[in-house]
Amino acid sequence: MIVGFCKETFPGETRVAMVPSAIVAVAKSGIEYVMETGAGGPAGYPDAQYQEKGVRIVADRAQVFGAADAVIQVRSVGANPAKGRDDLELIKRGQVIIGHCDPLTAGDACQAVAQRGGILFAMELIPRTTRAQSMDVLSSQATIAGYKAVLLAAEALPRIFPMLTTAAGTIKPARVLIIGAGVAGLQAIATARRLGAIVSAYDVRPAVKEQIESLGAKFIVLGVEASASEDKGGYAKAMDEDFYRRQREAMSAVVREQDVVITTAAIPGKKAPVLVTRDMVVGMAPGSVLVDLAAERGGNCDATEAGRNVQVGGATVMGPLNLPATVPYHASAMYAKNIATFLKLLVKDGAFHLNLEDDIVKETLVANGGELVHARVKEAAGAAAA
């Protein structure tokens, strides 16, 4: 089986879908690789390193799609609105496409792949199960985002994170609040703690208290937490507006005490909930920083502007986009390992096998046989069309 990968065409995307260290010899995996020249360059992986692993290098993406039985991407059609559709005419009937494709919000793009006869897998839909952990691209990339969010905050904050005792006196440590204790939030806690900050964290799911405290942070209790706040996949559930109103009221006093707030709350396929209001930010001390990791989904703060840093009162609200692409070497390495493990599940004896009895295959398969086959994606696409 031939697996191909190309340069990413989404603006500012520097990651690559496969790295040399994740490539297993053909004799063991049954997979041969073909790549577009320069595909790994932006992430720090020159062509020569791929050649050493036996990868065939071709001049352009049309040749990759023409030769490959499966094409792996960081951003496939749907997650690459401006340029992704250019690949549609290259997709062959029966060709496997694997990558991020925003299936719950870009159903029309997924449908277009189906109409071309492509077999589309959305890596965002990897189930949150123990068996699937090694394929969980959302977790691997959220780790990078949580780490980088703290560095952005530290750079923007006009004070240092750790306590220092010097001849000039003692400097108090910065106070950092992490809202949302998923993978990104937990990594942000760990990074802020390593930098010496006093860290507290909040999550609507009381069950994560132990994880927060194990990293040395204080778990904030607002008194509005709900026992049924987590879905079967381990994600926070969308709550009603009355819940979020009560949550914001209780959160206001906590936010006011912070030097840095990092928000990470996201609901798959839906607009991010607003947890921090403009008035809360105005109440923060001058020079304070809020980093909103949900900016791409509308933001957890109603003052967030996606892709921009804005002044709100005396504080800075940052709305960074695609943070994993700012650390492309390791973000690509983690993503490629996820993909390589997923391919191992799909490829047996050098051929593609579609086992619909496998829960991982079933949950990630979006399009097959000329139509959308994933129940949630079909439902979302129908709602969008209506």
Which of 85, 128, 159, 193 is labelled catalytic? 128
Which of 111, 139, 200, 258 is labelled catalytic? 139
Alpha-carbon distances of 25 from 52, 266, 358, rounded to whole Å = 11, 38, 25
- At 218, give phi and psi (nearest 5°): -90, 130
Task: Tell me how far apart the 2 most distant CA atoms of the chain are, in Å.
Answer: 72
Query: How far apart are the C-alpha atoms of 175 and 158, rounded to whole Å?
Result: 13
Q: Determine whether 231 is an active site residue.
A: no
Q: Determine whether 139 is an active site residue.
A: yes
Question: What residues does 4 pair with on adjacent strands?
Answer: 34, 71
- Say which residue the tokens 């990897």 belong to: 126
Q: Determine whether 21 is an active site residue.
A: no
Q: Determine whether 95 is an active site residue.
A: no
- DSSP string spanning 72-130? EEEE-TTT-TTTGGGGGGGPPTT-EEEEE--TTT-HHHHHHHHHTT-EEEEGGG---ST
Which residue in 254, 139, 144 sits closest to 191, CA to CA?
Answer: 144
Q: Determine whether 235 is an active site residue.
A: yes
SS3 260: strand
List CB contacts of 342: < 8 A, sequence separation 6 or more. Answer: 98, 121, 123, 126, 135, 360, 364
**Residue 256 CA from chain centroid, whole number:** 28
Amino acid at 292: D
Which of 49, 133, 134, 252 is labelled catalytic? 133
Question: What residues does 220 pair with on adjacent strands?
Answer: none
Which of 87, 102, 136, 203 is labelled catalytic? 136
SS3 186: helix
- DSSP string spanning 340-364? HHHHHHHEETTEE---TTSHHHHHH
Which of 115, 194, 235, 244 is labelled catalytic? 235
Amino acid at 34: V
Residues annotated as part of the active site: 128, 133, 136, 139, 235
